[in-house]
Structure 1
Amino acid sequence: MHFLYALLFGAHFMGFFEGQFQFLMLINGKSTLYGLQQSTAGVHHSEEFFLLNYEAMEKDLKVFVYPGGNPKTCYHSIDKKLKSNYASEHYFFMNLRNGSFLTENPDEAHLFFIPLSCQPMEDQDALPRYKEMVIQNYVRALTIKYPYWNRTLGADHFFVSCHGIGNRATAAFPFLLKNAIRLVCSPSYDSNYIPHKDVSLPQILELSFPPEGDGMWNDSTMESLPIQLSPVETHPSRTKLCFWAGSPNSEVRKNLRVHYKGLEEFEIHFVENVKRALVLDTFQKEIHRSKFCICPRGKTQVGGVCLAESMAFGCVPVIMSDYYDLPFNDILDWNAFSVILKEHDVPIMGEILKGIPEDMFEKMRQNVLKVSKYFKWHFRPVKYDEFHMVMYELWKRRHIIRY
């Protein structure tokens, strides 16, 4: 046996030292001090700074949207259900259109939005290469027709980069990737994502079937799933240690299967090639009775909408990924409401979670509920919702020098 897991001074030996929850474990016969960072403040790095600058953003930020996009190809219709894990892209386009940040005067704009995914396609069933060429021709025309791009080589421009077609199309424009701000659904460091310039665009929950006659569907998909449950299920007794369901399509997920499949305290389900909405429909109750929700790295990202699931269900996320920018990481202190581990920590994850005292878990769970408002999309923007948080991230990245 390669690993021997035991807490040396009892199952819940722990201590606080400079903001760390620490305990000793035997690994390969050697005692090792293992620590989890614990926030000693609130859920923000600096709440006062955030609130002050957020108000300035709401008051002053102006965005010019380049013409030429077809709303029917990118704006989500309230008459249709969400069909993709990347529905955040559609919500962002729709909220930007319906929000107060737009200006028709480019001279007063802080930022310029390129609606890449809104390009009309004569043939919606055309090959991906054709769609890439449509997007490339659109961007090329903007750089020729309008002077704003060439003033900064795109440094005050931004676009959404979630779908594979858009990603491949923009690869033809090095300055678009190098200079412009990208809103990215899968912000892994081993992709084209550039930390501190680009913005993580959190994905949202999707439903396979919208609830009939449920008015909340028109207000927030994030609230639709919990609302379908009974009051007892909304505030459940969390009898399981942790939950995860998905495809074992990465090394860290395969290791979860090796170490935790079939164990009583773990709700671990491995499903192949199943849409995430069906997974949610199947395992709602399991998520609600679990203390922690595991968010492991997949092929290219951290569990798709796993973070949104955790927020919606009041489940403390356990993030298992190397080189990944968490959404709003420069605003929110993720140590206050999540457990952040490395991919190689899979074998000791169970003991780490068991060693977290109940009062500490409850504090983290309450913090999850506090920050959940930042991870909600609405059909009409609401103060402090995910759309406004993304706009705040853009506001911080605007250029002070005016051209």
Structure 2
Amino acid sequence: MSLTTIFLLLLYFSLFTFLTTHSKPHLPSPYLSPTTIFPNYQNMLKSFKIFIYNPNTPFTFNSPSQSLFYTTLTLQDSVFVTQDAEQAQLFFVPFPSDLSTRSIARLIRGLRNDLPYWNRTLGADHFYLSCAGIGYESDRNLVELKKNSIQISCFPTPAGKFIPHKDISLPPLASSHAPTNKTTRFLGYARFNWLKESTLVNELSSDPEFLIESEPSDLNSYAERIASSKFCLFEYGGGDVSGIGEALRFGCVPAVVTDRPIQDLPFSDVLRWQEIAVFVERRGVGELKRVLARTCGDRHEKMKGLGVTASRHFVWNETPQPLDSFHTLMYQLWLRRHTIRYVRRESA
């Protein structure tokens, strides 16, 4: 770990200590556990160890966020990786995105037969990357992988392929372009390809309070249009929600339109999503505008500020930085490090 990284960690920890000891006890926070996350984060950096199985052949991932996570984890000087499996709290099973289910089952069968670690917990202290997630299969090896091991998938994960409280979703890559104009002019903003072929788009396209458009020609314009709106609209299930981290960063409160509970929100173990985003039942424009109107004013300003604070966790860096996407994902893995280790029955 570089001196710069250590300095930044100390700075973050000092700031957190000051805020928690000098602020009012009931100030809103974007964190589920505001008094414990930073001390726990420090403990994670000091003690968390992962053993990585060697893949049979080199491979790449299809998703940029998957590639960044894998590349960062496997850096030569990674503080999280150990070559001693007995020291590891978790085991990483790497395989390419396009590997068939039959080949994945064969891979798990090899781990079961050749090494002792899988059998100790039936895979409960193992994790893997699969952008689209793995479905339920009849093969014993795939069943244990799906039910027991931690899946890291891309957000949003297809319905039925994410198990809450066990699995983790990767936040999408966000633009690094910052807006120059932050004047709020619209109640809501939606990019057309987010809500393609959506009834909501058709109903809002003529409403002067909303900016509905196709993908802007450049990222600077995109950032400024987000910053010029109070709410950024995302339709969960059929729409593109990849810009949710950018909305938080640029002060546009995400308004997520959905017809079912969302279980795969990024960093759901860390962030209090109800404090940084609005969730609207899919009941048409009237319901959407009523919910947004109730959230305007002081409530909106608080959510906006908390969202900007939370957005630090959505930043991907080629060189990892404290509390960025990579480290927050590692923190979620660290929270899952306690698993039941089944006692191996000795033969008579």
Query: Per the shorter chain, which TM-score range?
Result: 0.7 to 0.9
* Cα separation, 2, equivalents of 1:137 and 1:376: 36
Q: Which amino acid aligns with 1:225?
A: H
Matched, 1:399 2:338: yes
Q: Distance in 2 between matches of 1:48 and 1:155?
A: 28
Q: Measure, in 2, the Cα distance between the counterparts of 1:249 and 1:357.
A: 23
Contact 1:377 1:385 in 2 (8 A): yes
- Match of 1:103, as an amino acid? T
Q: Are the equivalent residues in 1 in contact too, given 2:91–2:125 (CA < 8 A)?
A: yes
1:63·1:102 contact (CA, 8 Å) conserved in 2? yes
1:311 aligns with 2:248: yes
State the partner residue of 2:45: 58
Matched, 1:361 2:313: no
Aligned positions, number: 311
- 1:261 corresponds to which letter in structure 2? S
Specify whether residues 293 and 96 from structure 1 end up closer, same or farther in structure 2 by C-alpha distance, changes over 3 A only: same
CA apart distance, 1:185: 1.3
Q: Deviations over 1:259-305 (max 9, x none)?
A: 31221111123x5xxxx796857644322211111121133xx6331
Aligned-residue RMSD, C-alpha: 2.9
TM-score by length of 2: 0.79
State the AA in 2 paired with 1:240. Answer: F
Amino acid at match of 1:102: V
The answer (yes or no) to whether the contact 1:328–1:393 under 8 Å persists in 2 is yes
* Correspondence 1:347 to 2:286: yes
Deviation digits for residues 98-123 of structure 1, max 9, x if unmatched? 231000000010000011128xxxxx
| Contact 2:50–2:90 (Cα < 8 Å) also in 1 | yes
Distance across 2 between alignment mates of 1:187 and 1:60: 31
Counterpart in 2 of 1:329? Answer: 268
Matches of 1:339 and 1:313 in 2, distance apart? 16
Give the Cα–Cα distance (whole angstroms) in 2 for the partners of residues 169 and 96 of structure 1: 28
Matched, 1:109 2:48: no
Conserved 8 A contact 1:187-1:324: no
What is residue 242 of structure 1 aligned with on the other side?
188
Match of 2:66 in 1: 89
The residue that corresponds to 2:212 in the other structure is: 268
5+ residue gaps in structure 1? 1-38, 75-83, 119-127, 206-221
On the 8 A contact 1:171/1:177 being kept in 2, the answer is no
Corresponding residue number in structure 2 for 1:175: 144
C-alpha contact (below 8 Å) 1:295/1:303 kept by paired residues: yes
Rate the CA distance shift 1:56–1:87 in 2: closer, same or farther, 3 A: same
Out of 309, 314, 324, the residue aligned to residue 385 of structure 1 is 324
Task: Name the residue aligned to 2:168.
Answer: 199
Q: CA deviation at 1:169?
A: 11
- For 1:277 and 1:171, the matched residues in 2 are separated by 46
**TM-score, normalised to structure 1's length?**
0.69
Identical-residue share of aligned pairs (%): 32
